[in-house]
Chain A
């Protein structure tokens, strides 16, 4: 960005906006300005990052729009009004109730009839990971070389999915309809939470980020709570909890939340490649060994590589889905 442009940026307006002083008109002006140009969005994100990171308190995070809309629509559904009823009203209500019961029975019977013919949805990934929303608005991130299967529409009494490989689930809360992941011999049952399931040749591991899940195999089961990892040893047929907390970075491919501690740029790049679906190219191989520590919480890719460039004194150039890292090195 040129210096001339820099001088015309509405810093005072942004200051008012972030301080919570903006009038509705000013807030609209900020949003119009952001939409005006790509560079404006970038400047906005940078100032927002400074504002957020300056204080150790809650940071801004945009909620998932689809989920928010779903919640809104649930609140919009008309609720039956509670009223005192007169004689005729009661008869009418009784008739309505009977009709209702008949209708419900009809639909239940019909759905039983059609259940077997309901389509199964199958998803499979190769190298690229895949983000998707399930019929109940739960989100799933399917890691490379994995597959997921479920009945379209989730009309059953449970929300059942079958997994091969690794996936991250952020499950919407439906206490009446448990969400069950079948993976190998193991079943993972939840009401509403976010967690990761990883199947390897020797183990099936469940890492829970929020809430709790029940992991079961045959008659035995364990509860895995937020921050814990439950592991099933396939050969020993044993369920157990891993001691200590798991490494958040393992979920980075799905959550884009990273806590890099003294890691090499090569390792960091490998994790970012997955999470953002990019390829990182080291134009100077010596840079692979540079190490850094930093935390990123679902930040735009530009922000992440900007922090890396500034921290390690390298140049990161983003071109479509490739990131080129160059520079003399971090040693000097």
Chain B
């Protein structure tokens, strides 16, 4: 059945190796865009299907990597565009994974919200628009009359502060003890 047997066999293995090497990174990346684990998995598999079809032309490792990330990126953007069209018809998308809510740690959530409330007003507003409303950086910037760079800086600041508050508490206590 398979016409290029000798070479194809090596290429098959190469595709499988790429799958093992890049699956996690690609899936995580797809999730950041799609916000859905299953859709992200579908995206990665669709991209690998395409890679499989092109396997005879594959030559180098480095180019495969950027090919895969770029293909996932475009595939996800297409899915999102498609969803927007659907949303216009459905008016309101039903919340898909509501039954998982009970699994989210309410205590952790409460602690994080507390720290978000303590961010500076601009920082908090930008973080909330990105995290809770899923707005794009460009939209947030336009809304608030800021540059995209400022949004970027504030988002970085928010993450840095939250991580420090939530995870470095132990370190600070240790330091405090040392100097007492």
A contact residues vs B (CB 8 Å cutoff): 1, 6, 9, 11-25, 27-28, 30-31, 43, 46-47, 49-51, 53-63, 65, 68-69, 71-72, 75-76, 78, 257, 259, 293-297, 306-307, 309-311, 313, 315
Contact = CB atoms under 8 A, between A and B. Distances in A.
A12 to B, nearest CB: 3
Contacts of B95: 57
Interface string B88-127: 0000000111001101111111001100100000000000
A72 B153 contact: no
Interface of B: 1, 16, 19-20, 23-25, 27-29, 31-37, 41, 44-45, 48-49, 52, 65-66, 69-70, 72-73, 95-97, 100-101, 103-109, 112-113, 116, 130-132, 134, 136-137, 152-153, 155-160, 162-164, 166-167, 169-171, 173
A19 B139 CA distance: 13
Contacts of B108: 49, 53, 294-295, 307
20 contacts: A11-B156, A15-B155, A24-B72, A50-B166, A51-B131, A54-B112, A54-B113, A56-B109, A57-B101, A58-B36, A60-B28, A65-B19, A65-B24, A68-B23, A68-B41, A69-B23, A72-B19, A306-B167, A310-B169, A315-B170
Of B72, B136, B152, most A-chain CB atoms within 10 Å: B152
Contact of B37 (A30, A60, A295): A60
Given A14-B159, A72-B45, A56 B101 contact: yes
Contacts of A16: 137, 152, 155
Given A15-B155, A53-B108, 10 more contacts: A11-B160, A18-B159, A20-B35, A24-B72, A28-B66, A53-B109, A69-B20, A259-B103, A293-B107, A310-B167
A54 B16 contact: no
B132 A55 contact: yes
A24 B69 contact: yes
Contacts of A28: 25, 65-66, 69
Most chain A beta-carbon contacts within 10 A, residue among B100, B152, B159: B159
Contact of A55 (B32, B105, B131): B131
Contacts of B28: 31, 60, 62
Contacts of A57: 35, 95, 97, 101
4 pairs of A and B residues whose beta carbons are closest in the complex: A15-B155, A12-B156, A11-B156, A24-B69
Contacts of B69: 24-25, 27-28
Given A47-B163, A51-B131, A63 B27 contact: yes
Nearest to B116: A54
Contact of A24 (B27, B70, B106): B70
B159 to A, nearest CB: 5
A22 B29 contact: yes
A172 to B, nearest CB: 15
Q: Which of A57, A259, A310, A313 has the most CB of B within 10 A?
A: A57
Contact of A58 (B37, B109, B134, B160): B37
Contact of A50 (B72, B130, B159): B159
B63 to A, nearest CB: 12
B105 to A, nearest CB: 4
Determine which residue in A56, A68, A296, A297 has the highest number of CB atoms from chain B within 10 A of its CB, and name it.
A56
B49 A72 contact: yes
B109 A14 contact: no
B45 A68 contact: yes
Nearest to A53: B108
B90 to A, nearest CB: 18
Contacts of A72: 19, 45, 48-49
A295 B104 contact: yes
Contacts of B116: 54
